[in-house]
Structure 1
Amino acid sequence: MNRKRVAILISGRGSNMQALIEAAKAPDYPAEIVGVLSNRAAAPGLALAARQAIATASLAQSQFPSREDFEDVLTRVLESWEVDIVCLAGFMRILSARFTLRWAGRMINIHPSLLPRYKGLDTHARALADGATVHGCTVHFVTPGLDEGAPILSAQVPVLHGDSVQTLADRTLAAEHRIYPEALRLLAEGKISLP
């Protein structure tokens, strides 16, 4: 099997990263995780990846004169890993149109809402404030517009009476861990493409 080479971009603990790494351990999984890059050197996910013999790198955007310079170095790192697909997993940087178009159809993200509802941040608090009865998560293609790319997979999560932001976030995260590896599988197998 010709497995696709995948890099994961993170900013924190990397729980979705870990879900992808675990899925890729299966011999029939069509993708391998070849690198993890964070925009924060102290991101706990970097140590998790390193312990599993996955290449790691950190790049702080503040160290570069512009976002374009940051993304040029990011691109060089990804190219050095010979990456086919980029997965964003809690990467807390907005990427430029130039960068997203370069990876069009080969970069995906997991977002903690049922898109197109609740783009951006604080999705769980916003769902609770709206009195939503159903929440969830969506894996989507990354395009220049924030959380606007075509959806690949989504999962619904019930909003329960008495839910807090944390309990709803925890339930949503469990769904994220389930659908992100499946979405990556579909992309790596060529079963989906950017419309």
Structure 2
Amino acid sequence: MVKLTGLKKIKTAVFISGAGSNLKNLIKFSKIKNSPISIDLIFSNNSKAKGLRFSRQFKIKENVSSFKNPKVAETKILNILKKENIKFICLAGFMKVLSKDFIKKFSGRIINIHPSLLPKYKGLDTHMKAIKNRDKIAGCTVHFVTAKLDSGKIILRKEVKISKRDTPTSLAKKILKEEHKLYPAAIKKIFN
């Protein structure tokens, strides 16, 4: 667990690959008075990620590194994180797997939000798997990141009912709404 020191907010980086709705939500959360984090850096492996617009909108530093050579990209990112004094990382739709070495350097200080009730449906296509298996409940999980994909200690989970009419797209929308509440709640839980 990471403890909050004094009244200073924890300098945080958010890693994204896509639209950035969780990023936008985390930025709004970071601006409230009792939020334990400040978002000081947005990182993406995708220069076309729509979520990067929030770095301009909220005047937050951004960095884009392609993961064509993951080792080079990670070394560059670690140097930037050190320079910016980043102490905590939130993965929010980041579609690359970080190396064991990278994770070790931020052990216990990287969290991720995953669109299933872990340990069920690790990896991709979680909504389709839940519907295909005729699950009655799906949901989302915030967990600590470890070297094993979607396997770190669970911080919080939220269940969402699957209706008979749900498609992977409609289920994804329902779960995303819950993700936006769960991620800030999980961060508060870690730091309080």
Measured against the shorter chain, the TM-score band is over 0.9
1:114 maps to 2:114: no
Provide the secondary structure at the position in 2 that maps to 1:113.
Answer: coil
50-59 or 125-134, larger mean C-alpha shift? 50-59
Q: Hey, what does 1:32 align to over in structure 2?
A: 38
Of 72-81 and 115-124, more deviation after overlay is shown by: 72-81
What RMSD over aligned residues (CA atoms) do the two structures have, in Å?
0.9
Q: Tell me the TM-score normalized by structure 1.
A: 0.93
* Pairing 1:144–2:147 present: yes
2:164 is the counterpart of 1:161: yes
CA distance in 1, matches of 2:189, 2:80: 25
| 1:84 alignment partner AA | K
The whole-number CA distance in structure 2 between the counterparts of 1:50 and 1:163 is: 35
Tell whether the 8 Å contact from 1:6 to 1:83 is kept in structure 2 after alignment: yes
Describe the SS at the equivalent of 2:23: helix
CA displacement, residues 80-127 of structure 1 (integer Å, 9 cap, x when unaligned): 221110000001101111111111100000000000000000000000
Structure 2 partner of 1:103: 106
Amino acid at match of 2:182: I
When normalised by structure 2's length, the TM-score is: 0.94
- Tell me the distance in 2 between the aligned counterparts of 1:71 and 1:95: 8
User: What is residue 5 of structure 1 aligned with on the other side?
Assistant: 11
Fraction of identical pairs, as percent: 38
**Is the Cα–Cα contact under 8 Å of residues 31 and 185 in structure 1 kept in the other structure?**
no
Deviations 1:57-100 (A, max 9, x none): 111112xxx32221111111111221110000001101111111
Of residues 88, 100, 107, the one that matches 1:85 is 88
Q: Corresponding residue for 1:55? A: 61
| 2-structure distance, mates of 1:118, 1:22 | 29
Structure 1 segments unaligned to the other structure (5+ residues): none
What are the ranges of 5 or more consecutive residues in structure 2 without an aligned counterpart? Answer: 1-6
The residue number in structure 1 matching 2:4 is none
